[in-house]
A = this chain, B = another copy of it.
């Protein structure tokens, strides 16, 4: 019987911890405070942004969504981030992606200061992850962190495992490759130019798809031993406009040992990691 790696029980457990930590922080005069920058009104972005705000409030943290017009001038956008970077009441700041084309030239990873970059996109944070050094004082990218939390909470060992990651983005594929390597897994990072993608996928213990192509992963990517764990990072729309992953869940679910659902798998884990990072940033304020 295939194990479905739902985020729900993990979320329940971690939410309890996060609530307690928020109470402790508030008793010590620190109210965890997140600012989210939302440019334009992309429907998915609005939904994701609201989820983050709702979860912040659930655990007792403060969250403001700053909604900017789709045509906001780059200078105004940068000024707002600069103000947040300088505002000592704010502990975390994230910029909801994607940004409109006229802001695409900005190197998003460098805009929010490394101390408030709870998305883990800043060079300082990625360097800590890559070098596996001083991670307690830096932020690990949320989706990679959430994937590892999910596997760990379900009791899976990571050291020694062969991991195939499909997708080499700076948000998922590359930092996840670093994180799994730090945890002693052996990672193969695949992408659109990879030959033998099917063979490489079949030979791994843990297969992660983060490419954004609906239902790409079917039975042809899997070993016939039914011993693989499949992690679906995709957040796509199918032809009917419904949320679907990169994995064809129905075709695959009986051929693997364990699989994450979409929705209800990696997505919620990403938000949980964001909140963990927000509280990590807030705790720093206690020692100042």
Contact = CB atoms under 8 A, between A and B. Distances in A.
A200 interface: yes
Identify whether the interface residues of A are mostly helix, strand, loop, or mixed. Answer: mixed
A190 B196 contact: no
A190 B131 CA distance: 15
A177 interface: yes
B181 A186 contact: no
A262 interface: no
A184 interface: yes
Nearest to A196: B162
Interface stretch (A93-101, A119-127, A214-222): A119-127
Contact of A186 (B131, B186, B189): B189
A62 B126 CA distance: 34
A109 B127 CA distance: 10
A285 interface: no
B186 A191 contact: yes
A162 B190 CA distance: 10
A134 B188 CA distance: 25
A181 B191 contact: yes
A231 to B, nearest CB: 18
Interface residues of A, number: 31
B168 A181 contact: yes
Interface in A193-237: 193-196, 200
Given A127-B123, A195-B160, A195-B162, A187 B189 contact: yes
A130 interface: yes
Nearest to A159: B193
Interface string A96-135: 0000000000010100000000000001101100110110
Given A162-B195, A186-B190, A109 B131 contact: yes
Interface of A: 107, 109, 123-124, 126-127, 130-131, 133-134, 159-160, 162, 168, 170, 174, 177-178, 181, 184, 186-191, 193-196, 200
17 contacts: A107-B134, A109-B127, A109-B131, A123-B126, A123-B127, A126-B126, A130-B130, A130-B170, A131-B170, A160-B195, A162-B196, A168-B181, A174-B181, A181-B191, A184-B193, A186-B193, A188-B188
